[in-house]
Amino acid sequence: MMVVYHRRLMTSRVIALVFGAVMISCGSPGTTGTGGADDALSRGLQAHAAGKLDEATTAYFETLAKDAKNKFAFYNLGVIAQGQNRAAAAEAYYRLAIDQDPKMGSALFNLAILRAQAGANQEAADLYRRVIAIDPNYAAAHFNLGLILRLLGQNAEAQQELATAQRLDAKLVAPSPSASPARQSSPSPTR
């Protein structure tokens, strides 16, 4: 059975962009504080939001040239690669973002999706559990973990996770075991 994950609403992209703009203007942990890196990241976010992915990619690499540990540049390169169906590249970028910040939930979440799509269901379940440990109210992580646990034959725990997801977000209806839910991803440029 092919599992397809629940997709976020477009509003999450807007929220991520607004959050990114605020973080750039205020400075944030995880960057070296260099104006050059922040400026390049800001240009990348703007280009990314406008759908100018080549321009965004260039700006994210400029960010990394100025701040080699910028988790947001790595994450957004992962989002671009994932959107272009370049799973290996996306996975590598998400892992680099996680190396910089092991509690970066968005990178862990998207990496879990990729690992599940690659058939590494136990690893995907472990990644979703890490996301939930960071944000216990992340409905989509509970939902996707429930789907993965079903595939692993852990039906009681799967039902608990699906029920938690629905309690947190009533729009997430637990599918019947034979149903294929919609795809989940968080491909929003973030800072």
Per-residue pLDDT of 95-125, as tens digits, reads 999 999 999 999 999 999 999 999 999 999 9
- Which class for 10: exposed (0-12), middle (13-18), buried (19 or more C-beta within 10 A)? exposed
The answer to whether 93 touches 109, Cβ cutoff 8 Å, is no
User: Given this model, what pLDDT does residue 85 score?
Assistant: 96
* pLDDT tens, residue by residue, 148-180: 999 999 999 999 999 999 999 999 887 776 554
Which residue type, as a one-letter code, is found at position 62?
E
* Ordered alpha helix ranges (H), the chain: 11-26, 35-49, 53-66, 71-83, 87-100, 105-117, 121-134, 139-151, 155-168
pLDDT at 9: 29
CB-CB contact of 112 with 127 (8 Å): yes
| pLDDT over threshold 50, residue 182 | no
Domains and CATH numbers, the chain: 11-168 (1.25.40.10)
Query: In angstroms, rounded to a whole number, what is the distance separating the alpha carbons of residues 42 and 9?
Result: 23
More confident residue, 130 or 14: 130
Whole-model pTM?
Answer: 0.79
Maximum CA extent, the chain: 52
- Residue 8 pLDDT exceeds 90: no
**Would you give the DSSP letter of residue 178?**
T
Per-residue pLDDT tens over the stretch 18-61: 334 334 434 444 444 457 999 999 999 999 999 999 999 999 99
